[in-house]
Structure 1
Amino acid sequence: MGIKSSLDEIKRSPREIETKEENLLKYINPELKLKDVKFKILAPNKENTPILATFRSAEEKGQVMQKRKQIGKIVSNKCHMTGSQLIYLNDDLPKETRELCLAARSLTEYGYQFIWVKKGKIFARKRENDPVVRIKCMEDVKKIRQDAWVG
């Protein structure tokens, strides 16, 4: 399946990012050519609106996501923006996958410490060195919950 259309969602970003997307991406990956990225503000009248960043290639998106992981938390003032609000970069997921991801995040109540999405696929892990579980459908989430009650 691969990476979905090279899309990323920049969530809960400060309103000021509307004019400073370049600062954010340059902070994450200084080698990125900004002419190869297009931005679309999803809800222009909202204060903390998601911004969709479309990359020219899946490789460029992958580089940004990898560097983001290395950086850790991204705070607006580190990207030459006012305030100190956290900025989140997430894969842009289809509705069904987004809903499944939300359900998978509830597994923290069942002892799972790590739940993440990579290349549009959802994964979970209970502890640092435990095996990774791939969550493909809602039945996987239900089975994990059920096993947690039984075990």
Structure 2
Amino acid sequence: MSLSPNNKFHSDTDLHKTDCSELNTISRKRRHPASEWSEAIAELSREFKNTLSDWRRDLESSVKGIADNVLSIKSDLAALTQVTSEIKNDIQYLRSEQSVMKQRITELDTKYDDLAREIDDLKNSVQFLGNDQSDLSKKVGECSERMRESTNTQHTVVELVSKIDYLEQTARSCNIEICNVPERRNEDLMSLMTNIGTSIKFSIKPSDIISVKRVPHAVQNNNKPKNIVAKFTSCILRDNILSASRLHKGLNTQQCGISGTSVPIYMHEHLTLKRKKLFRDCREAARIHNYRFLWVKNGTILAREREGAKSFAIRSYQDIARIRSGSEIKQVAADPAN
């Protein structure tokens, strides 16, 4: 192995071996005239100035654009600020409204709770009333049933009263009631009846009379003489005596042989208390409404407004109401003129 130095990197120390002509040639090539350098520098300066001018124009354009953008941004910021202010105001208003709404909701909650309690109370009351109504309905049903029974009972009572009145009147069909005859001690009523028959020119014999007596007044404090009731043997005889008394007209105590002041004597059919009261009320209604004729035949009250008018029967107070209205409710074939 050789220990000689590596010849890869070596320098030639012998400068003299270099060609001087070559050096001169190189030096001549590097030299330039002054005008070329001036022109190069001027060209470079112009290019640099143009470049700077372009940069300045670009920079100014950019700055102007930036300024415009800044102004636009400022305008937008101002508008945004106004919008933001309005939004803040709206938010403040909404907050106040929200506060009011919360308060109202709280009040509504309170009212709702109160209303719920009232509804519960009403439900309880309705339930209570429903129970009461159920009980009341039952009671009303019972009362209705009782009222129906009572109505039926009343109808039955009315019918019974009418039947009793009819039977009582039938039992009096042969009776004559004589009013306003002065009372005397130990008076002879049979002789009185005979004298009355003589006065009306109709013979009344003791055998025609079943009974004759005075009857008490319906009202205890009546100071008038007690009426005399005479019961005859037949209805025909009774009717004939009444017809004779109507034809006689003006019978009085003096004509019948009764001493003292002469007073008129009245004879009519013997009516029950119910029919007497009805007859009194009929006379009052007839007087008010100018009915000229009012009489009793066979226990029935008859009325006629004037001559030639139809006569009708009065059997109840409803018939008196019809008299007051001027209506004739029933024509009766029987007429005292016939």
Shorter-chain TM-score category? 0.7 to 0.9
Match of 2:250? 73
Residue range with higher mean Cα deviation, 137-146 or 22-31: 22-31
Amino acid at match of 2:319: D
Structure 2, unpaired ranges of 5+? 1-165, 217-222, 328-338
Indicate if the aligned counterparts of 2:174 and 2:233 stay in contact, CA closer than 8 A.
yes
Measured in 1, the distance between the counterparts of 2:325 and 2:202 equals: 46
Instruction: Report the Cα distance in structure 2 between the residues aligned to 1:30 and 1:109, rounded to whole angstroms.
Output: 36
Quote the Cα distance in structure 2 between the aligned partners of 1:69 and 1:58: 17
Does residue 265 of structure 2 align to residue 97 of structure 1? no
Aligned pair count reads: 147
Deviation at 1:128, TM superposition (A): 2.1
TM-score by length of 2: 0.40
Q: Does 1:40 align with 2:213?
A: yes
Check if 1:52 corresponds to 2:229: yes
Q: How do 1:1-150 and structure 2 match up within 5 A? A: 4-16=172-184, 18-19=187-188, 20-21=191-192, 22-37=194-209, 38-43=211-216, 48-82=225-259, 83-106=261-284, 107-147=286-326
Alignment check: 8 A CA contact 1:16 1:81 kept: no
Q: Which piece of structure 1 moves more, 94-103 or 27-36?
A: 27-36
Return the index of the structure with the highest Cα Rg: 2
Q: Which amino acid aligns with 1:99?
A: K
The range that moved more, 88-97 or 18-27, is 18-27
Q: Deviations over 1:30-61 (max 9, x none)?
A: 43222221211114xx6622011010111211
Shift of the alpha carbon at 1:63? 1.2
Distance 1:78 1:99 in 2: 30
- Which of the pair is proportionally richer in strand? 1
Q: Alpha-carbon deviation of 1:29?
A: 4.4
The CA deviation at 1:116 is 0.8
- The one-letter amino acid paired with 2:212 is F
Point out the structure with the larger helix share: 2
Give the letter aligned to residue 240 of structure 2: Q
Residue 86 of structure 1 aligns to a residue whose secondary structure is coil
Mean Cα deviation higher: 1-10 or 21-30: 1-10
> What's the CA shift for 1:105?
0.6
- Show structure 1 runs of 5+ residues with no match: none
Q: Deviations over 1:96-126 (max 9, x none)?
A: 2112111111121111111111111111111
- Supply the distance in 1 between the matched residues of 2:239 and 2:273 (Cα, whole angstroms): 21
- State the TM-score, normalizing by the size of structure 1: 0.84
CA distance in 1, matches of 2:252, 2:213: 21
